[in-house]
Every structure is written in structure tokens, then in C-alpha cells.
Amino acid sequence: MITYLEAIREAQAKALADDPRVYIYGQDVAEFGGAFKATKNLASAFPGRVLNSPISEDAMVGSAVGAAIEGMRPIVEIQYADFSTPGFNQIVNHAATLYWRTQVKCPITIRLPSGGTAGSGPFHSQSMEGVYAQYPGLIILTPATVEDAYSMLLEAVAIDDPVLFCEHKYLYYHLKAEGLPTEALPVGKARIARQGRDATVVAYSAMVHEALAAAEELSADGYEVEVVDLRSIKPLDTDTILASVARTGRLLAVGEAWPWGGVTAEVVARVASEGFELLDVPPRRLNAKNTPIPFHPNLWGTHRPTAPTVARALRDLLRL
């Protein structure tokens, strides 16, 4: 059995082994193996290529841009997605604009350990993907499975543009698979995680599993809910979403991020704009509550969407 976290480590080991241009830069990533041990043993296996950085997110990302200009393919580990904000400028204004401005490619992978876990509080739980998705020039991946964590991270390193790899901390240890995948859908393709005919849930990252659990609950009542795992939120696979809505006529978009704008709003907007006639009822969204992310597990469990709240939202949608 291999966990989601181990898949991320294995993907990095393979990237380092396959390509001398790859190196890893981040806080505590060397001998210590990273705050989550996502780089455990990599520093000794690849001497000089897994480097500890100072606590300087701006300079970490800025240096990756310079290294990419010189032909390297850096992987930057930001310790928590929340801490990417001090590096925000380099991500959105430097990395994301480099190719468009200069025609020099910027193949950097920025790993963002994302999303909430119990007891993590407002500054170790955030889902930043929607914020970054607003900016052109970035690719944003949100793997929901062990297989995707592995194959999409390898693909991220191979892509010639800056990739934000939003790996979910809740899935690190909870999610296990039999082994590493030998084939994978390409980046940019969503996946039908569960087939159904009565309603479509569009989700990504950890929310895919909440949606699958909710779909299971509803199947006991005779409803068949289709779950679309976006896999990548930029690019967004609008075709797969529309095809699913064409089958079901009902749409619920679920995201762990905050409700204003963001991925779920984009999904609903695109379906309303491009597939209005496919909808039997108004589309719905379910997001985290519009407050900072609370510390206590009781509050946190209510702040973010969970299987019971997804199921409730689906029942509302199916009653319409």
C-alpha cells in the first residue's frame, strides 16, 4: 500500500532520478525531510539537489524563476499553501509573466500543501487555488487520488510553464492505493469518479471524497449521483462538466475554499453560460463558510463542506 504523501515523495524521487535539471528547494526539505516528510531520504539519495531554504518565500520563488531561466526545473516546496502569500508577488508577477513577456519558458513546480485538517486553524488550512487561478500564466493542479498525486506531479515537473501543485494535507495519510499508476489521464482532463444520472457534483481535491461519500449515502435512497473530479482547476475541463450536466440536468459545485468567486463560481458560471439549456434546475454551490478557518475540530468540521452537508445540498437540489 502507498499513501498520497508517499506517492508525492516517489514522484519527486523519480523526477530527480530522471532529470538532472530538477532540484528541490524549500524549508526543512533536506536531511529533515520536510515538515510532512514529503522529501524524506531524498537529500541523501540525491546529494546537493535537495536544499534547505531560509524562511523567505519571495526569494524562494524568485530564485526558482532565475534558475528556470538558466535551464533548471526547480520544485519549490512551500511549507503550507497559506505561506505562499509572502511569495505571491514572485508567483503571479514574475513566474506567471515570464514566458509571455520574454518567450523564455518558466518550468517551475510549486508544491502547496493545501486544505484543512483538524486543529490546524486559520493559517495552516487554506485552499489558495482560486486566488491563483485568477492570474494568467499558471497551471493549477488539485489531485484527489494517490494515482493522480504521483502522475500529475511528474507531469507538473515536465510542463514548461509554472505549475502550482495543490496537494491536500488531509489526504496525505488518509488515502492509500495498491501501488503507483502505470498510466494516467493527462493534465487538463477531468475524471468521472462515480457515474450517475440524477445529479452532477463537481469537486476537486479532498472534496471529491466528501462528494463520493455523499453519493453513496444517496444511492441508498435510489438516487444516482455523478461525481466529477476536476483534477486540474486551470485548465478547467469544461467539456467533461458540460457532458455530465447533459446527462443529469442538475449541478452542485463543491469546494473547500471560500465562497466569494473561486472555482465553484467559475464552474457554475461556465455551465450557466455555455450549457444553460442542459440544466433542469438552477445550479448550486457549496463552499466553506465565509470566515477564517477555525481551529477547534467541532468548528472546523462545520466550516468546510463534508459528506453530510454535501448530501443535504444534493437532496435540496434533487427536490427542486
Cell of 202: 463537481
Distance in angstroms (rounded) separating the CA atoms of residues 158 and 115: 25
Q: Is 246 in the site for another protein (CB under 8 A)?
A: no
Question: Does residue 31 have an active-site annotation?
Answer: no
Answer for which of 43, 159, 164, 202 binds another protein (CB under 8 A) is 159
Q: How far is the CB of 137 from another protein (least distance, A)?
A: 4
- 148: burial class by Cβ within 10 Å (0-12, 13-18, 19+)? buried
Least distance from C-beta 61 to another protein, angstroms? 8
CA distances from 3 to 47, 171, 205, 273, 302 (A): 25, 8, 15, 39, 26
Q: Which helix (H) or strand (E) holds 270?
A: helix 262-274
Strand order in the sheet with 199-203: 191-194, 225-229, 199-203, 251-254, 284-286
The Cα-based distances of 108 to 9, 39, 253, 273 in angstroms read 17, 17, 30, 33
Residues linked to residue 163 through DSSP beta bridges, in sequence order: 109, 139
**Positions 160 through 199 that interact with another protein (CB under 8 A):** 160-161, 187-188
Active-site residue, selected from the candidate residues 94, 124, 209, 303 = 124
**Nearest residue to 257 via CA among 290, 288, 294:** 288
Name which position in 113, 115, 137, 294 contacts another protein (CB under 8 A). 137
- Closest approach, Cβ 232 to another protein, in A, equals 8
**Interface with another protein (CB under 8 A), residue from 59, 279, 281, 307:** 59
Cite the DSSP H helix spans in 36-194. Answer: 42-45, 57-69, 88-89, 96-102, 129-133, 146-158, 171-174
**x/- map, 90-129, another protein, by CB under 8 A:** x--xx-xxxxxxx-xxx-----------------------
Instruction: Identify whether 57 is a catalytic site residue.
Output: yes
Which one of 11, 42, 65, 153 is in contact with another protein (CB under 8 A)?
Answer: 65
* Shortest distance (Å) from residue 7 CB to another protein: 22
Q: How far is the CB of 91 from another protein (least distance, A)?
A: 11
Our finding on whether 291 is near another protein (CB under 8 A) is: no
Per rule CB under 8 A, is residue 14 in the interface with another protein? Answer: no
Q: Nearer to another protein by C-beta: 48 or 222?
A: 48
Using only the alpha carbons of the chain, give its radius of gyration.
19
User: Does residue 53 belong to the site contacting another protein (CB under 8 A)?
Assistant: yes
Closest to another protein by CB, 218 or 271:
271
Q: In what helix (H) or strand (E) does residue 251 lie, and over which residues does it extend? A: strand 251-254
In whole angstroms, give the CA distance from residue 38 to residue 55: 18
Please report where in the chains the cell 526539505 appears, as a residue. Answer: 29
Nearer to another protein, 25 or 300 (CB): 25
Per CB under 8 A, the segment of 31-39, 63-71, 171-179, 217-225 that binds another protein is 63-71
74 is a contact residue toward another protein (CB under 8 A): yes
Q: Which of residues 259-278 bind another protein (CB under 8 A)?
A: 274
CA dihedral 202, 208, 212, 217 (to 10 degrees): -80
Residues near another protein (CB under 8 A) are 23, 48-49, 53-54, 56-72, 74, 86, 89-90, 93-94, 96-102, 104-106, 136-137, 139, 159-161, 187-188, 234-236, 238, 274
Residues that are catalytic: 57, 124
